[in-house]
Structure 1
Amino acid sequence: MSFRKKLYIIIFGTDTPAGRGFDVALLIAILISVLAVMLESVPSINRDYGQFFKYAEWFFTIVFSLEYITRVYVTDSRSRYIFSFYGLIDLLSLLPTYLSLIFAGTQYLLIIRALRLLRVFRILKLGRFVGEGEQLGRAIKASRHKITVFMGTVLMLVIILGTVMYLVEGKDNGFTSIPLSIYWAIVTLTTVGYGDIAPQTILGQTIASFVMILGYAIIAVPTGIVTVELQKDKKKQEKKKCTNCSSKGHDSDALYCKFCGEELPV
């Protein structure tokens, strides 16, 4: 076996002790680098250990750069890896440090390295969680038209309510413009309620009360839409019972049994 093939098994595989050890060490390095970025943003800590964090940042960046170059080298389909989800994340997690040489402060974007921790699902054999995630993704995709209509309705609603509050309250009560009033409507409708802008008139407070109550009703809508699609997807999976081995649990769009390979009923 060639040296390049051995490296490929170690870097991309998890079935060997060396491959599993490499991935675990990589996850630990990612965790430490993300923690270092967060601690560097604390003024009191940065004042005493700022130089140490700079060295740590460049150390991890160089290590991850060598890892990225090695991944590109050992893979057979380089373009496939480079433009894959993990490939793009691996690359983006390197750029902030190099960009910080030109644009100060961009090193904090290194927090994107946290996305590399998604590899833990593959390393720890948590495939069932990936399947659940795919099911949720299918439900959201199936709901996209309803969610788009819902979001459009909410957008029109906050524009109308914001404009009404601008007319009712006016500049004297903090509603100095329609965009600012729309911001108030969004904050109120989502039940966040920062309190930086508040109606002072009786009519304004009445409208605000209506918007708050409306917010609770609106929040339940997208949840219901996605839940319905999840139930539909679950029923489709239950119908996907193999006639040969009687196995269940297939994806709703599966064509063949993942246990025996028999064609599934449509």
Structure 2
Amino acid sequence: MPTETAPLLSVMPSVSSETQPSVLSVSVTDHRYHPLQQTLAPCALELKKGEVVSIIGPSGCGKSTFLRIAAGLIEASAGTVTSIADRTAILFQEHRLLSWKSLLNNISFGLQGQKLSKLERMTKARTVATAMGFAEEDLIKYPSELSGGMRQRGALARAMAIEPDLLFLDEPFSALDIGRRRDLYRLVLHEVDQKQCSVLMVTHDVTEALALSDRVLIMAPDPGHFSKEYEVPLMRSERTRRNLMDLEASLLADDRIAHLFNMRNWERLV
């Protein structure tokens, strides 16, 4: 068991966003699924190279809608999105693995657009699968033969196999046990540190956001807008369970934030 002062994640320090160029710029001035109901009010984001930014907020506030606009999956009713990323990967809450392909073929699927031979694609997919904790016998299985956590790990492996420079994550770790979740945290952050990948993540887990991110954006509902930006004051190499609890307490000490999460008396479990 790690000590209270042991780092939660053994990774390189956070990058200084001020010295890095913007990989993604998003400016939403209005978004509506129905003409009479505004889903997003004006909200904007600048994501720097090598930066991890999380969006947290109550269910239904528009977090995933904003992420989908940023990723180019849907178009805002009014606004602009600019990206200079060459390789973009997206990981959703649902694994979205292809049911008719084996795990290995699912992981290698995104590599088909690259100038690699089939042997090179399979070799690379197998290397990523091993890093994700899969055994050789898992690679021939189909999604229906895998547990929910294994399917989600497979989806993350598929995303990481293309070595993205911009990664969108929509609650990707929610189906994983705490040990596997921390392993995958490290894999994502290794990608960030080694390849200066930029990450925009949506999560409901405040501690997860504080552990992984350089900045945390808090979204409020009706309509969705960013009510606060919180810059995590510790380098990732200095973050421990104890000081993350302190950071969470500090964040929830803001009555507006506590109200959003229905956590006015957050010290009590029930």
TM > 0.5? no
Higher strand share: 2
Task: Give the TM-score taking structure 2 as reference length.
Answer: 0.22
Larger Rg belongs to: 1
Higher helix share: 1
